[in-house]
Amino acid sequence: MTELNHLLDKDGTLQPDKLEETMQRLDEGKKEEILRNFDSFIGYLGRRIELAEKLGLNEEQLNALALKVASYLANHEEPRNSEEKLLKELWKVSSKEEQQVLSRALVNLARHTNN
């Protein structure tokens, strides 16, 4: 079962309010594996985007979820590399609209990288 499954109710409806709880349940070893370097993070993100699309999430839902994930990471995780540090600093000084652009750009980067 993936993290994404924990964000869907039994009817397959996205429950973004469960994101923080789902992220906190991630095994520390798995989290470290994902976040240890930027390529691992982008690859993981790309695979999760593919899965979300296969489960029927639309672009708006993906972007909303990406915004929540980015916000969670910025507020709860310490950067493990220079790319993550830059993203966290950009996130901190960005308006809500700019954060939406940053999270959409990460989605696009992950899609491009995985193809």
The residue segments making up the domain with residue 100 are 3-114
With bands split at pLDDT 50, 70 and 90, how would you rate the model's confidence at 16?
A: low
The contacts of residue 57 (CB under 8 Å, 6+ apart) are 14, 65
pLDDT tens digits for range 31-90: 899 899 999 999 999 998 998 888 888 999 899 889 998 999 999 999 999 999 999 999
Q: Number of structural domains, the chain? A: 1
